[in-house]
Structure 1
Amino acid sequence: MKITLLVTLLFGMVVMTTVNAAEKTLTPQQQRMTTCNQQATAKALKGDARKTYMSDCLKNGSSASNEKSLTPQQQKMRECNSQATQQSLKGDDRSKFMSACLKKQV
Structure 2
Amino acid sequence: MKMLRIPLLMIGLLLCSQGFAATAQQNKMTTCNADATAKALKGDERKTFMSTCLKAAPAADAAKTMTPQQEKMKTCNATATTQALKGDARKTFMSDCLKKK
TM class by shorter chain equals: 0.3 to 0.5
With the length of structure 1 as denominator, give the TM-score of the two structures. 0.45
Larger radius of gyration: 2
